[in-house]
Amino acid sequence: MIIDAHAHILPQRRLDGLSIWLGRVFPNHPLAGKSFTEDLIVKELSRNGVEYIFNYVFPMEASETEGLNLFNYNLGKKFKAIRPFGSLHVENEGKESIVDNCIKNFGFSGFKLHPYVQGFSPDDEKLLDAYERMEELGTLINIHTGFEDYYPQRENTITFSMIEGLIKRFSGLTFILPHMFYPRLSEALFLLENYENVYVDTTNIFSAIIQDEENGMNRDREREVLMDSLNKWSKRMVFGTDHPAGMSSADKIFSDFYSFKVNDTISRDLLYNTAHGLILRNGGLGG
């Protein structure tokens, strides 16, 4: 049994946009130009043993937020496998009520922000009310870190100190840090070691190490830090595919993970137990 703790099933218009983007930025990507539907994504994941999917959406503009959260809510009704997460935009008015609606009415498990794509900084003052409300509700937030090369046109940065500042300020809010600031994995390891409200999401790291090595880069140090983190902290680490926006096809992403041959305990923690624990506290798997 697997929980894919990071996927992006989006409204069809956005999925179409994603295929175009992939084709333009990564023409050799196995999914470049391939068209996706929500049914196909769920099918490809379930073929790999995925039973539950944390589904992340994020609005590019404030006006998109309401429809996007409703889309994810409806997706959770359509597919038993989907655990929806909410999102918002820095320019939204009434962020507390957006947070309330997502958690209290929609029963979402938490929130996602993708500041590089959304075009704002995660520590923007205008977001603080939202974080405060999330903290009061004891929920989760997943904020993108690392992989700067993927976002050459970004206007903002997501720095270690910015994220650490939020983690300290909102110590009752559980942070899930996807990609562990790749390739600066030691930054994520430091946060795991020093703050109990930090979890990391290893999405894309296994495949990125493999692909970087295939491209002639030395990733021995990153392998070492990753294994060190896994050995010590697998109870606070999850794995996801990022499908259909990940490093490869869903099948290859899983085979890349398995190629690291981590022991059974670590594997169970990453593929199921940690994610399961996180959402048992936040709405559970049913409903």
| Residues near Zn ion (CB under 5 A) | 242
Looking at the Cβ atoms of 133 and 179, the one nearer to Zn ion is: 179
Q: What is the CA radius of gyration of the chain?
A: 17
How far is it, in rounded angstroms, from Cα 84 to Cα 187? Answer: 28
List 50's β-bridge partners, or say none: 2
Residue of minimal Cβ distance to Zn ion: 242
251: left (phi over 0), alpha (psi -120 to 50) or beta: alpha
Do the Cβ atoms of 236 and 199 come closer than 8 Å? yes
Do the Cβ atoms of 107 and 77 come closer than 8 Å? no
**Cβ of residue 245: shortest distance to Zn ion, in angstroms?**
6
Neighbours of 168 (CB within 10 A): 11
**Cβ of residue 93: shortest distance to Zn ion, in angstroms?**
26
Looking at the Cβ atoms of 135 and 145, the one nearer to Zn ion is: 145
Q: Which residues of 216-252 are buried (b: 16+ CB within 10 A; e: fewer)?
A: eeebeebbebbeebbeebbebbbbbbbbbbbbbbbeb
**Cβ of residue 7: shortest distance to Zn ion, in angstroms?**
8
Looking at the Cβ atoms of 64 and 242, the one nearer to Zn ion is: 242
**Cβ of residue 269: shortest distance to Zn ion, in angstroms?**
20
Looking at the Cβ atoms of 242 and 269, the one nearer to Zn ion is: 242
For the CA atoms of 249, 276, 183, 222, the dihedral, rounded to the nearest 10 degrees, stands at -100
**Cβ of residue 136: shortest distance to Zn ion, in angstroms?**
26
**Cβ of residue 105: shortest distance to Zn ion, in angstroms?**
25
280: left (phi over 0), alpha (psi -120 to 50) or beta: alpha
Looking at the Cβ atoms of 30 and 94, the one nearer to Zn ion is: 30
Looking at the Cβ atoms of 100 and 119, the one nearer to Zn ion is: 119
DSSP 173: S
Among residues 13, 10, 22, which one has the least CA distance to residue 56? 10
Looking at the Cβ atoms of 135 and 242, the one nearer to Zn ion is: 242
Looking at the Cβ atoms of 87 and 229, the one nearer to Zn ion is: 87
Angle at 280 between CA 275 and CA 285, to 5 degrees: 85
**Cβ of residue 56: shortest distance to Zn ion, in angstroms?**
6
**Cβ of residue 216: shortest distance to Zn ion, in angstroms?**
26
Alpha helices by DSSP H, listed for 170-238, are 185-194, 205-214, 220-233
